[in-house]
Every structure is written in structure tokens, then in C-alpha cells.
Amino acid sequence: MSDSLAIVLAAGKGTRMESDLPKVLVRACGRPVVDYVLDALEQAGISETIVVIGYQAEKVRQALAGRPHLRFVQQTEQLGTGHAVQACRDHLQGHRGPVLVVTGDSPLTQSESLRQ
């Protein structure tokens, strides 16, 4: 999947999680839930990932700073999934391969599912 690109939706507040953290930084088994999603994408062979950030964007950037092949897109208003993907439009110019859209708060995402 070397020509594949992923968009990770990570702009949400996570009010139902009863935390002040961005939803994707809430910990599960000692790690932010977004780490599991990014690991699965990497294991599936995704070559490039765009992370859509919004709520407490700097915290998300800092938490993911050590990961290679990530680009960030700021979603200034959280107007839904379609709007988050639309915010990536400029970064998708010229891309010809598959684009996966995944949520950053799905720690059970499996690399095999992504490959298929």
C-alpha cells in the first residue's frame, strides 16, 4: 500500500469521555488511543498520514511529534467528518492512490482490516 494515504480524524473534544484532553489523547492501557490507530496504519503499510486536529491542537501535535510521515491539518471549526476530510483537500492534490479515512479514537483498529 505504498501509494496509500490515510486521513486520521483527531479534532474532537471527547466530552462523553469526561476528560479535558482531546479525545484522541485519552489513555487506554497507558497510551493515547490515537497511538494504536497510527501503529495499525504503519503496520498496514500506509506511507503517508494526515492528522486532522482541532480541539487543543497543540497538545495533539506535541504528543505525535516523534512520529515520522505525519502532516497536520487544522480544522478550525468542528463541523463534522465531511468537513474534516474537506479540510485536507489541498494536501490531496495530485494524490492518485487509495485514501483511507479513519477515526483517531478507535484503538481496536486492526492493520489487517486496513490492508484489505
Diameter over CA atoms, the chain? 40
Measured from the Cβ of residue 112, the count of other Cβ atoms closer than 10 Å reads 9
Q: Are 6 and 104 in contact (CB under 8 A)?
A: no
Strand 5-10 and strand 70-74: pairing? unpaired
Active site residues: 16
Polymer length of the chain = 116
Question: What values do phi and psi take at 54, rounded to 5?
Answer: -155, -85
